[in-house]
Amino acid sequence: MAPPKGARVRLIAGHWRGRLLAFPPEPGLRPTPDRVRETLFNWLGPRLAGARCLDLFAGSGALGFEALSRGAASTTLVDTNPVVVTALRENRERLGCEANVVTSGALEFLAAQEAAAFDVIFLDPPFAAGLLVDALTIIRARRILARTGLVYIESAAADGFELPPDLQWHRRSRAGNVAFGLAAPAS
């Protein structure tokens, strides 16, 4: 079944390579650009096999569904917007996958998680919302990221985002107005 007309993003590689995800044209919803996703998933490479992933500000779901397409064991997609969550569930059904889709505020969701719950966490909040630091604070305080896990962080390049001292950049780059990278717990 083809996705409905409207805003769409294509999965880049893996099991569902070339499949389209449909998402509503909601204010502030901007999927991670293809070029950035390709770089990110090249960096993650074999670390995705069997990984437990969290797409915290899921939006289009491109990061979470791409992770599943490339061999992640599980992905939880979290968004607060019911229209977006409906689209995520429709995409899950279209792909025939087992993604866990949750309607929740990101910070509330994190506050309920156990230690070491995820191997890879994707943080791509709406740039103007100011949620990145708060999300990282909860992730670190509750130790939600597995000891050898990675956090993907995407922000507006103009923001000049700096990591907290207990995280270090594993890889990072910039594409146009977007700064992005993978961070790991500092040794």
Which residue pairs, CB below 8 angstroms and at least 24 apart, start in 74-78?
74/98, 74/99, 74/100, 75/99, 75/100, 76/100, 76/101, 76/102, 76/118, 77/101, 77/102, 78/54, 78/102, 78/104, 78/106, 78/109
Domain boundaries, the chain: 7-185
Phi, psi dihedrals of residue 33, rounded to the nearest 5°: -60, 150
Phi, psi dihedrals of residue 114, rounded to the nearest 5°: -85, 165
Longest dimension (CA), the chain: 47
> Which candidate, 123, 96, 92, places its Cα nearest to that of 21?
92
Whole-structure pTM value: 0.93
Q: Match 């007309």 to its residue by tokens.
A: 5
Superfamily of domain 7-185: Vaccinia Virus protein VP39 (3.40.50.150)
pLDDT by position in tens, the chain (length 187):
454 456 889 999 999 999 999 998 888 788 888 899 999 999 999 899 999 999 999 999 999 999 999 999 999 999 999 999 999 999 999 999 999 999 999 999 999 999 999 999 999 998 878 899 999 999 999 999 999 999 999 998 888 888 998 999 999 999 988 999 999 998 7
